[in-house]
Each structure stands twice: as structure tokens, then as C-alpha cells.
Amino acid sequence: MKNKLFESLVIAGVLIYSGLSGPDSAFGQSAMINVSARHCTSLDGEWQIIIDPTGAGDWRKVWQERKPEKKTDFIEYSFEGGPALNVPGDFNTQLQELKYYEGTIWYKKTFNYIPTGNKRLFLHFGAVNYMASVYLNGNIIGSHEGGFTPFQFEIGNLVKPGINTIIVRVNNQRLKDGVPGLGYDWFNYGGITRDVNLIVSDRLFISDYFIQLKKHSFNEVLGWVRLNGNSLSQNVRIKIPELNLDYKTRSDVSGLAEIKFSSDFKLWTPENPKLYKVIIQSETDTVIDTIGFRSIEVKGPKILLNGKPVFLKGINIHEENPLRAARAYSESDALLLLKWVKETGCNMIRLAHYPHNENMIKSAEKLGIMVWDEIPVYQQIEFSAPGVTDKMDLMMREMVNRDKNRCGVIVWSLSNETNSSPSRDKALINITDNCRYLDSTRIITSVINDEHYSNNILNVWDTLYRHLDLISLNEYLGWYVPWQGQPGDIKWNLAIKDKPIVITEFGGEALYGNNSGPKDEASSWSEEYQEQIYKDQIVMFGTMNNLCGVFPWLLADYRSSGRMHPVYQKGWNRKGLISEHGEKKKAWYILKAYYDTIKNTY
């Protein structure tokens, strides 16, 4: 978020937490959570657009929507008569001319506002990739940077009775100082990619809450509820009808109510993903959520779920519906991917490499799939460029804020494949500490791929490891890195020996249906070559100490413009176990059989 947003939030009167000590003050000016449980009016649907490849809309001030006044006037832009796009949705796949577009699109939507008395009004965006500047009735109300997290503006004092106009300048250009930076191996879908809502609340409302089990406990909830408005001291209740629980407390003058209660919870597990209806009440507001309770921790070299060792049968996914070859945004998109995840025998997904739509996380949780949530601090990000560490930090806060009540989320991942340097180490150690301060109940990690062979020994060391709960390694043995010796003879030499390890990526490319060519050559792009990688990897996994989970790269083929082989790739990364048409490759069956042999006993 830029300073502009900060200023606009102050103008618009959104609560700015004022250095309060307390668990939530560090979340900053965050968007409302659990939006679907609020009084929403959806602004989804068709938005009119102007495509602006040269940036002319900025100096022409498109947001003013000027109209000719005199006979001699003309205006060289107009939303009327132009194309429209669906929101939510990426713009690249909705108009042929936008297929590879990286630039500005102006979006416009009108809504009829009927004053509702003494209420507050918020304009909430689920996500816009990558930069959004938002105008209401011709005036800027703020901007947001970052393509995968929600943001909002309070607009009650800015709307007028009758028709109001929202214009959003959306720009998905890659930035050297962006997060992610210039290069990344996924498709840069731009647009208003998630839901837009108007949310009405009472003057004083429940803006936020954290309701999860206390670290190391199976029955004690330790959290807080945050109220927003005036006269903040109110009675606050948490009710869980199924458990006959009715906990009463009171918020302090700052609006913060600490909560602490115990109950005999049926704990959430992948096999029994029990969720409870939880009613959060103040004197003036009620929010209903569906929350599960489970304990997750690292003990020595093990990951414990509800106190028992768990093996993470993981898989990576991108936020893309391969069948539509477009950014996934709907619940049915999420369910398509999750159905494949379940069929594969997985109990966990790694949401690569950025926070996915909330509906993905909620659906996974319901289905008993644990979730790895990650921010897009990726490979070549410029840690030393001005502003980058602040952006990372804010994205981490926005992710944690949105997903902190989802028991399915067990890992906060703060980066993927960055190389050690003084600026990188400082930035990642910092963000790790900040994340732990916000939420110490989950496992915090960063994904590393800096392994060095010496004969058949893989040496692994990174300054970061001491700061992480979990050692997360990407390795492409058999693909980018040839095996040296037999897979069963590889020795992993980790400088840190008492922490759990997960392999967060491995795999190789194959075109579904390509069963020709020499089976021992990577450049055959054959299913058999990919299948052999999986067989070899599984042999190696069997020899690794402290291995607590594996995440193949990845569930389904996905679009990535840098994958340019004209026969086998055609703009698709082919490391999927499932093709873009939903067909299972040979390696899928190998993974499935492997996962079927691993039994968790909690």
C-alpha cells in the first residue's frame, strides 16, 4: 500500500491503529476479514473499460469522465461505446487483444446509493493485480500495490445519494521494485481478479478477530476481538452453539477485547475436518464465522499435528484453472483443483507463490486439506531497492490478517528461492520475526534452493535456517540437476540437523500423451522421463533423515510465457502431473501410489 492510501484512509476516517500495544495493532490498516459474513452488495459483473497502452489516460484524466460542452469540443476517450470485462476475472483471457497485455486498463462501474441512516460504508477489493488507483466520483480515494491481497476504503462520507461512479486504474506492468520483481515463472494475469463489494456496517462494528488455539494447547483459545468506531468499550461475546459455549468479555477503551476460553473441541484433522459455527458479538454487531481448532507445531525434527507426527503429502498449485487457461477466481475453480488434490491422495497444498483467493483456502479447509500460504517474494526480487522490504512486510501482514482464522493454514511462507546476500538476509530475518510476532501459532518458513553437490553429497546451508521453524528445500534432481550416483546413495548434509525438512519442489516436464523418444533423455519431454524422476525421487526420500513432507512441482500444467519450446511447451510449464485438459500423466500414478503407502496415525 502506498502512502497515498494511508492518507486517504485517514481522510476517509478508517481506523488507523495508533501504536497500540496488543496483538492486533501490528496488522496496520487492514481490510475487513470474513467479508462474505458482512452486509455486502456485490459490484461484480460487467465493468466498462478503456485500454490504455501508452498511459494517455493519466494526463487526459480519464477519471474525470469529461463530456463535450461546446459544439467545438471533443474528448478523446469514453467508457461508453467501449468494451466491458467481467469482474472478477483476469483481463488477459477476456479479450483476444489483451492476451499478453501488461499495462493500464481503466475500469468503471456505477452503483446506486440509497442513504441508509447512521451507517458506515466500505468499498472492498478482494485483489487487483498489480497496482490499483481508485477514484470515486472523479476524486482519487487511494491506491494499493500488490496483486494478491485485499484492500478497502471507507467511503461513507464520499458517496452521494443516487448514482456514484467508481473508476479504477489497474496496471499489471512488472516492476523492478515490485513484489514479485521483473521475472517469474507464471502468467502475469492482470485485472480486478477477485470480488468487489460495498460493505455496510454500523457506526461501531467488529473489524477483526483472532480465534485459534493457543500454541501447544488442544483446548484453550487465546485471541482477541477488535472493534472499530466510537465508544469502543462494549460487551463482547463469543458463542459456539455446538459446544454450548457462551464466553463473555469486554473491550477496552481502544476497542480491543482479549479472549481466553477452553472447551472440549473435536480437533480438526485432514480425516475429520471439523469446523464450528462461531458467533462473534458486540453490542452493535454480529459476525458469524466457521472455525476449526487444531494444534500445529514443530518439535525437534518433527511436525506435530494435534500432538502427533504428521507427514505432509503435499502438492503445489498455481491459481489457474488449466481447463480455461485463466486465473482461477470462483469457488468452482477452487473445487476443480481440490478434487484433483484429493484424488492424488494429498493432505496439503502449497499455494504457490502468492496468497490465492480466499475461497480456495476455505474450500481446502472444509475438505481436510492443510494449506501453505506464501507471499510473492520470489527469486530475483530486488531486496535493496527502496520500498521493497516495506512492500514485502505489508503483503505478509495482509496475508496473515486475511487468513489467520483458518485452521487449515499451518504454514506462513515468506519467500521462494532467493539467494543469500546481506540485504536479502536482513530483509527475510526481519519479516520472519515480524510474522512470528503477529502469529506464533503457525510454522514459519522460507523456501531455499541453494544446494551444492560434492560427489553424491548435497550440502545445504543458508543463514536463514536458524530463524525458520522448518527447512524447506526445492531440488530438481533428475531435471535441472543431474543425479550424481544412484538416487538411493544421495546424502543430504544439512548444517542444521534438528529441524524438520520438507521438499517443497521437485519434478520435471512432460507433455501428456508424448510417449516417444529415448526414455532416458530429458529433451524427449516424455511422460516416461517424468515418471522416472518421480520413481527416483521417491527412492531418495526414503533415505532422508527428518523428512516430514514432499510437494511435487506441480498439480497441473500452467501457463508461463517464458516456456517457449514450440512443440512441447507452447507457453506452458509442463511439470504438471495433470495436463491442461485434465489428463493424468504417468508420474501422477507413481505419486498417488507413494502417498497411498504413507499413513498418518494422529
Binding site for ligand GCB (CB under 6 A): 185, 353, 416-417, 449, 474, 505, 553, 573, 575
Residue 79 β-bridge partners: none
Cα separation, 503 vs 445, whole angstroms: 12
Residue 48 cell numbers, joined: 466498462
Separation between Cα atoms, residue 588 and residue 602, nearest integer Å: 26
Please report how close the Cβ of residue 26 comes to ligand GCB at its closest, in angstroms: 29
Q: What does the alpha-carbon distance between residue 436 and residue 215 come to, in Å, rounded to a whole number?
A: 12
Give least dist CB 573 to ligand GCB, A. 5
Shortest spacing between CB 538 and ligand GCB, in angstroms: 19
Q: Give SS3 for 361.
A: helix
Which of 86, 569 has the CB closer to ligand GCB? 569
Report in angstroms how near the CB of residue 537 gets to ligand GCB at its nearest.
14
The three three-digit cell numbers of residue 176, written as one number: 523492478
CB 469, min distance to ligand GCB, A: 20
Cβ-based nearer residue to ligand GCB, 63 or 189: 189
Supply the DSSP string of 452-504, one letter for each residue.
Answer: EEETTEEEE--GGGGG-SSEEEE--BTTTB---S-GGG-EEEES--SS-EEEE
Cα 350–chain centre separation: 10
Which of residues 292 and 507 has its CB atom nearest to ligand GCB in the complex? Answer: 507
Q: Residue 240 or residue 471: which is nearer to ligand GCB going by CB? A: 471
Q: How far is CA 592 from CA 80, 482, 536, in A?
A: 53, 24, 15
Whichever of 107 and 186 has its CB closer to ligand GCB, that residue is 186
Distance CA 421, CA 426 (A): 8
Shortest Cβ 575–ligand GCB spacing (Å): 5
- Please give the Cα distance from 197 to 41 (Å, whole number): 6
* Closer of 294 and 353 to ligand GCB (Cβ): 353
Taking CB atoms, the residue at the shortest distance from ligand GCB is 185
Minimum distance from CB of 530 to ligand GCB (Å)?
A: 12
Which is nearer to ligand GCB, 383 or 553 (by Cβ)?
A: 553
Residue 47 CA to residue 487 CA, distance in Å, equals 54
Q: How far is the CB of 381 from ligand GCB (least distance, A)?
A: 13
Which cell numbers in the block locate residue 134?
481508485
In the bound state with ligand GCB, the residue whose beta carbon lies nearer, of 93 and 416, is 416
Neighbouring-strand partners of residue 288: 279
On whether the CB atoms of residues 133 and 104 are closer than 8 A, the answer is no
